[in-house]
Chains A and B, each alone.
Chain A
Amino acid sequence: MAAAGLRAMVGVKRVIDYAVKVRVKPDNSGVVTDGVKHSMNPFCEIAVEEAVRLKEKKLVSEIIAVSCGPQQCQETIRTALAMGADRGVHVEIPAKDYESLTPFQVSKILAALAKKESVNLLLLGKQAIDDDCNQTGQMTAAFLDWPQGTFASEVNLDGDWLKVEREIDGGLETVRLKLPAVVTADLRLNEPRYATLPNIMKAKKKKMEMVKPSDLGVDLTPRVKTLSVEDPPQRKAGVKVETVEDLVAKLKEIGRI
């Protein structure tokens, strides 16, 4: 398997840029997304980078970048193509369905695509920074009945197996997964490259296929409904103290030390 190279698929999500302070809509139906800067989810960038590095090491033969969502997701796929992915698949989700789309439906789509494209390595970010779910990789692995290497900080090929070092609560652990497998990237896996202008130009010529969830036999009926989105409780403004003695006195006063 390794000799011919793995066929890798990378899932990428378009999210509100990580540096933007989000605003909750006045009708509490969600957060304001119109006119707000969007970019590729940071964990997805790391997943793309890892796939490209595996290809540079000749362990991966082809990289397919996939995104599910409205028209604008194509920019996100183009970014992945500019980083080194070979071709893109855009799973078009109408705006109405996209609002209620959750990892459940995305995982079904990814699982169907992974089978259709006969890939043997699926790379995803460990979570999207908008819904903070941390579910898609695990669920896709389950739908495919593949092993999963979540929160990966190192990935090495070992014959027909994949050695994955994972970030866990007390430190790190290493697992071995039989290919085909799903890997989700943690922050420490790598440092994603910037796409250069020539590569951005080249990416425009790379192939992008349009697919509908119904083509893949995936039903978009919402399973979890959002009832409301609200601002979290605001903290009261604090005070500045001048000296360490003042600080200690204040903390003693309120019984914290």
Chain B
Amino acid sequence: MAALRGFLRAQRLGRRAVSSLHRFQSTLVIAEHANEALTPITLNTITAAKRLGGEVSCLVAGTNCEKVAQELSKVQGVSKVLFAQHDAYKGLLAEELTPLILETQKQFSFTHICAGATAFGKNLLPRVAAKLDVAPVSDIIEIKSPDTFVRTIYAGNALCTVKCDEKIKVLSVRGTSFEAAPVSEGSAAIEKISAPAPVGQSEWMEQKLTKSDRPELTSAKVVVSGGRGLKSGDNFKLLYDLADQLHAAVGASRAAVDAGFVPNDMQVGQTGKIVAPELYIAVGISGAIQHLAGMKDSKTIVAINKDPEAPIFQVADYGIVADLFKVVPELTAALKK
């Protein structure tokens, strides 16, 4: 009888321990990195994770990522860095990373799993969510509470507030909507975790990256973008010269990409990158809905366009109706002074 009572008591205590665990939030941030360097959006994602309340852990997986783990352990607000190194993580394939994340989840029972809404995060997180049998929430721009988020729909033309009742919330975070967490004063413990057996149904082969000395588009303070009005790829040199004076990144509209003036990864818009720099200079860009989706949260927008009816002027803080081939060199010269 006493034994039975003891057993029931233990069971009750156990239940209480479980329910109190559920009250605490704990978030896993999947770190994005390449070539031993942390991708900056991970720091924005950590800020979002901190806003959820509770402990923030980071998972670093790769073939050679000890340096990234070290760097993350110094980020303010990170309490634990989980670190998995294996050749199977070459190219950070979703098929290989998903089992590792599931294993980690089984061990630590996070309430939230998130990553930056980049090509990496968008590729990986929905696969993880499906395996956890939960519906994910993409590209959140605001956290109202641990289960209520704001995201944009219809190319940024509506804000949608959603409540996610899932037991585990899987979220991708819009980098430009959250500050970067400072890389200082942190002192997270690095814990090595073992990698599950490779899946082997996919294989990373090669990468062709666009080389550039300019700042990275999504985190640049100033962005100069060109559209169809540039007329040719060679004319983009005008924008590179202007960008050099401003230490700006160079972006493009879909028209400029489709016409082959510049590579795809420079595209700003609904289907390209989302930027929110302090200054966005749109040159020869009409301002289609899909382009505005990618830049209308910029602090100051300048439009240079010869068509006074171009929709870009409806969102521009400063507009100049003139030929870009005259204005851009003048602007570059004026900035040199």
Contacts and interface: CB of A to CB of B under 8 A. Distances in A.
B160 A223 contact: no
B138 A135 contact: yes
Contact of B265 (A127, A171, A176, A227): A171
B93 interface: yes
Interface stretch (B9-17, B67-75, B107-115, B327-335): B327-335
Interface string B165-208: 11000000000000000000000000000000000111111111
B267 to A, nearest CB: 8
Contact of B331 (A143, A175, A226, A248): A248
A224 B159 contact: no
B210 A170 contact: yes
A251 B302 contact: yes
B158 A31 contact: yes
Contacts of A39: none
B271 interface: yes
Nearest to B204: A175
Interface residues of A, number: 80
Contacts of B159: 229-232
A135 B126 contact: yes
A227 B316 CA distance: 31
B300 A173 contact: no
Interface of A: 16, 18-19, 21-22, 24, 31, 43, 102-104, 107, 126-127, 129-143, 146-148, 150-151, 153, 163, 166-178, 186-188, 223-232, 235-245, 247-248, 250-251, 254, 256-257
Interface of B: 34, 91, 93-95, 98, 118-120, 122-131, 134-139, 148, 151-166, 200-210, 218, 222, 246, 254, 257-258, 263-265, 270-271, 273, 278-279, 289-290, 296, 299-302, 313-321, 327, 330-331, 334-335
Given A135-B138, A138-B122, A169-B118, 12 more contacts: A139-B130, A148-B127, A168-B207, A170-B207, A172-B208, A173-B204, A174-B204, A175-B203, A178-B201, A224-B164, A229-B160, A238-B317
